[in-house]
Structure 1
């Protein structure tokens, strides 16, 4: 402790000891001091509640004093506004020990606080990537002046960014910011456990390959006791019954896979007189904040949430985590499990309540991988050409004009732009998204038409959100619902919505302004939103196969109901798995290839074997349906002749779901979607497996 503290500013050390009463720093916090103070790019790796925020902040505050940083010198970037709101008071108190300031800037921050920030920039600014880019392009912000002194960027939950397009967007914005600041920015990523932290850090560095970097991931001490149980309950109503009867008097956080399910479970719990709160993305920010604060302050209660509460938002000291069915990754499970066991003497715990027998197998496969110590590698999405198009237009907004020969200099060799970058630029020019003026280009009329509403806010949001109606009870915003739940005509009696765990009778619908006015009711309500499930990965589906073949995840308890469901599934799939190869099974006039490869790999295999597969099928995680009359010899010959694997087919609906696809040439848009739908590596692994052919004797 003494050696580590010697590197920090004395005033900071004084407050750590006397204000916080800390007797020692955690291992991560000790090991982070040297590399952060040395200006290295760092990924700090620890489970939820592992002290990552302090591990980054304390040495950065010390560096501010040691090097006399003035003005806005540190950006702290989070994926969620709620997480920023949650962090601001804590970081502000730390900074105040040294006479430094911390402020918030995101979509919920009003004009007054923003004006104050521009007049008197804080030392640390908490923001999102979208708000950061909004500042870069705003005519009200002198970005060159505001960001001139930025020295370091902290990216919280960096694994959440890296796994989707927001990560590419973030890296591209940071490259532009570094150019305005006139120097490379120290990059510090905070992450939960991931399978490839070195690759994650190299990705976070963007074009700054020459900078020193280090992953800080202290070896775990004595493992905390873990209690993981899987149960099969059969329905949401039964899940509510189990939750209401178990662990009474305790604070329970229940994770579900969709907004609809959150509403249904919340209503079922309230019907059993359980104090219940709801949190999901379609609730208003005020409604979520009220729920999360009320839950944090209560004891005998339940909060039902989607992944909105998976990240590090503080909802108080939890007793239990309950999972309806299974999350989609081991990393997600670790985040949720890490919500518990924070009190001395308590255990980390998670109870899986599976609604269908098949969900027991999905949970068992995920837990088999977890028990083996495996965590998914974080792989950034391939072919982010649509983000490249967005960045070119955003740069044109920021700089007013860009050089048609020099625009790429803003991003160095960031792998956002591939060999088609010049073709992309020419398309933007030819279609009127950009207008050419000699060797320069500026925003054109088509960009104004497509993205120009509300000061180009559509251009600065990386994801497309389906159109939704704002639901209002009087003047209070409850949340948002999709068109489909309001447009159904096959309904007897009044239309009743289920939102925030309560039923609301629809009164007036303002179709033009997309507003729905409601009043509370005791009638049963309906919750409905679109879903976008992308299927499971190769590794998790292979784990299900291993479970069917007899693998048992260690340190996991299966209730009698769950074990019975798993035994039935093993019997049901007994002819679909084999120890010594992948099974081709013919039964009831159908021939299935049981690949257990995950949806993306199966899409690639389906596209690469047009003469062998049944074209009219929905591709799933576990099997592919072949032509029913194909013989074993014909199948073997067809598989042996597969050369280059083909990309999955695309359609216009998939293209419309890709934000900024309109700014791409049609062929590049289709290629982008196809490359993202498939999994060539896993498909190749499947083709190399031995094969077993079975015919049902019945």
Structure 2
């Protein structure tokens, strides 16, 4: 008896279309290995590089199970972090489901009311959506959530690492546990991801209440082992080059001159920089498109469609295009400065090299010294085959508060002592009693004969637009919609709209890579009206939120670079010269065996090379000898001038035994959504835990310290 082939495991109709409609002679290794476990109902995390066939590896076995077991109504949810990614996937999944006489549909914030009504009348078999939209369905008074979602059997979570690393991940898990209770069966959970440093931890996190009760596996055939030991075989494949250009305008000059005739994707890590480089490229006659979160949906769609259809052009984007959105046949990726993580870099370089006989490639353009060092350090880690482990955000108490309020909207009555059953023992909810007590005490919830219902304070704070604020776990800063006629261009910071000084002329905005003259502002409706500017340069500005800088590992990799380690990539002459200058400038600030304290011009600096979060932790721990008002950096802390070797030795030995979490200010608390629904001390503890790097701080405190006395 012969062993079954991969096509034998597929439903016959599906196998026919894979072979004949798609023209695939066989499945890829990931797709073959995922078939049997997923058809059998196992949880899994599927790992493969960008464009590695992960979607089909998840969808084909679940469609086979759907057909074999006669699943009906909405039985599979396909969850993505970005609406644009869902839009991009819909035609493909409609094709796959259509082969079996099944359907797929889309539900997110940009989907029209008419389209949603069609879904409610005739539910699809596969629903593509976001966690926020699932929440909105559960709490809506116009959606029968039990009828629509009560038959869900499996959930595919695309780009699962992107969820796991922030609060949307906890929100997603909490919503999946509520769906589990609605359907009265454990949901099969399948995560899709590129390479991560700790895939088994990621699987356990994704399983939630399934962990230990349901089989789960990491499936990653052909994915290189993520380990420094792999560095003996050389860096990962790819043509990577590091250049130093010194300014955004110089970066635009280089981009305009290189790779003419090719399609180039330029990544920046701020919207302001996207706008600035986009405008500079357009001024040089380059066909350029922009994509970032403050551009209107139509503007981004136009840019992405035009870019996909063009050849000699550039699209400048933030991380909105890092994830698997298809922008056509890409030739080059260019990175301005460096992304925050090696994982992001792997996503970005993975956009290239998809055609036969082409190689993955990325050109780094550093705008300043810190950008150069950050890029060099990141590429050093990449060369060591190191990728960040994905860690869920710690102590998500505000998500517990949000979920308690959302459940009280979802269910007419929730038992005051039975509410924990909705989350099936999910970790954050096992310690939710103090949060519930606060919600009751402050009137966010009220108790009626032992049943929880939404209280007047929740109505006052979150009741606008039928509690729409409760469906999202992030606070968006107030922005004004920018309109040219009736066409929405995007959104801008209201600080740019204040009246111009006499003689300054009209206020000019930079948006979508163009300058616009403000012709009117509707402050009440948060709108501003613009016309194309005939002359002058507009300004772009958005609130960036909390930026935590380098990780401990990246800061130490930068220290290695300053000590002489070159990243395993091509360095231009400009990059070599700039690195040489940086090494000379920091020669007294780095030491291979520990940290350095320097005294120069009466100022004492402790060069930790520990990253922002560790240095924030150290500032709090060493409050008696650290300048409390200083802006904490990745590289060093300022100490009081009376610290000598003897005192330092005693202080740091004691401090290593009593690490203190960073202090939290009111501005930071305001940025944590649902803070009002938490006791202040619990909100402060939540934020402090997120700002801290206890392990990095302890490492810095226990390392030898070298004193260097300057002039």
CA distance in 1 between partners of 2:562 and 2:683 (Å): 40
Gaps of 5+ in 2: 225-232
Aligned twin of 2:465: 454
Partner of 1:346, secondary structure, is coil
Aligned twin of 2:82: 80
Aligned twin of 1:480: 491
Aligned twin of 1:514: 526
Aligned twin of 1:387: 399
Aligned twin of 1:550: 564
1:522 Cα offset (Å) = 2.8
1:220 Cα offset (Å) = 4.0
User: Do structure 1's residue 445 and structure 2's residue 456 form an aligned pair?
Assistant: yes
CA distance in 2 between partners of 1:615 and 1:215 (Å): 46
CA distance in 2 between partners of 1:85 and 1:339 (Å): 18
Gaps of 5+ in 1: none
Aligned twin of 1:596: 609
The answer on whether the counterparts of 2:589 and 2:607 sit within 8 Å (CA) in structure 1 is yes
1:33-70 per-residue CA deviation (whole Å, 9 max, x = no partner) reads 11111100000001111110000001111111111111
CA distance in 2 between partners of 1:541 and 1:512 (Å): 45
Structure 2 counterpart of 1:218, from 221, 229, 238: 221
Aligned twin of 2:542: 529
CA distance in 2 between partners of 1:488 and 1:382 (Å): 43
User: Do structure 1's residue 661 and structure 2's residue 675 form an aligned pair?
Assistant: yes
Runs of 4+ with deviation above 3 angstroms: 220-225, 488-491
1:10 Cα offset (Å) = 1.1
1:534-553 per-residue CA deviation (whole Å, 9 max, x = no partner) reads 21100001100111111122
* 1:210-609 superposed matches below 5 A: 210-220=213-223, 225-417=237-429, 419=431, 421-487=432-498, 489-490=500-501, 492-523=504-535, 524-532=537-545, 533-554=547-568, 556-609=569-622
Partner of 2:437, secondary structure, is helix
Structure 1 counterpart of 2:8, from 6, 9, 17: 6
Partner of 1:180, secondary structure, is helix
CA distance in 1 between partners of 2:559 and 2:36 (Å): 45
The answer on whether the counterparts of 2:267 and 2:335 sit within 8 Å (CA) in structure 1 is yes
The answer on whether the counterparts of 2:652 and 2:702 sit within 8 Å (CA) in structure 1 is no
1:313-348 per-residue CA deviation (whole Å, 9 max, x = no partner) reads 000010000011100000000000000000001110
**Cα 1:154–1:265 shift into 2, 3 Å:** same
More displaced, 494-503 or 683-692?
683-692
CA distance in 2 between partners of 1:220 and 1:465 (Å): 37
Partner of 2:78, secondary structure, is strand
The answer on whether the counterparts of 2:482 and 2:488 sit within 8 Å (CA) in structure 1 is yes
**Matched positions, count:** 695
**Cα 1:538–1:488 shift into 2, 3 Å:** farther
TM-score, with length taken from structure 2: 0.96
1:183-216 per-residue CA deviation (whole Å, 9 max, x = no partner) reads 0000000011100000000000111121100000
Partner of 2:169, secondary structure, is helix
User: Do structure 1's residue 632 and structure 2's residue 645 form an aligned pair?
Assistant: yes
CA distance in 2 between partners of 1:346 and 1:224 (Å): 15
More displaced, 289-298 or 404-413?
404-413
1:347-398 per-residue CA deviation (whole Å, 9 max, x = no partner) reads 1000011111221111000000000000000001101000100000000000
1:277-319 per-residue CA deviation (whole Å, 9 max, x = no partner) reads 0000000101100000000000000000000000000000100
Partner of 2:128, secondary structure, is strand
**Cα 1:485–1:442 shift into 2, 3 Å:** same
**Cα 1:620–1:490 shift into 2, 3 Å:** farther
* 1:164-203 superposed matches below 5 A: 164-203=166-205
The CA RMSD measured in Å over matched residues stands at: 1.3
The answer on whether the counterparts of 1:224 and 1:348 sit within 8 Å (CA) in structure 2 is no
User: Do structure 1's residue 689 and structure 2's residue 703 form an aligned pair?
Assistant: yes
CA distance in 2 between partners of 1:579 and 1:638 (Å): 22
Aligned twin of 1:644: 658
Partner of 1:621, secondary structure, is coil
1:591-638 per-residue CA deviation (whole Å, 9 max, x = no partner) reads 111111111111111111122212221111111111112111111111
CA distance in 2 between partners of 1:185 and 1:559 (Å): 52
TM-score, with length taken from structure 1: 0.98
1:400 Cα offset (Å) = 2.2
1:145 Cα offset (Å) = 1.4
Aligned twin of 2:692: 678
The answer on whether the counterparts of 1:400 and 1:443 sit within 8 Å (CA) in structure 2 is no
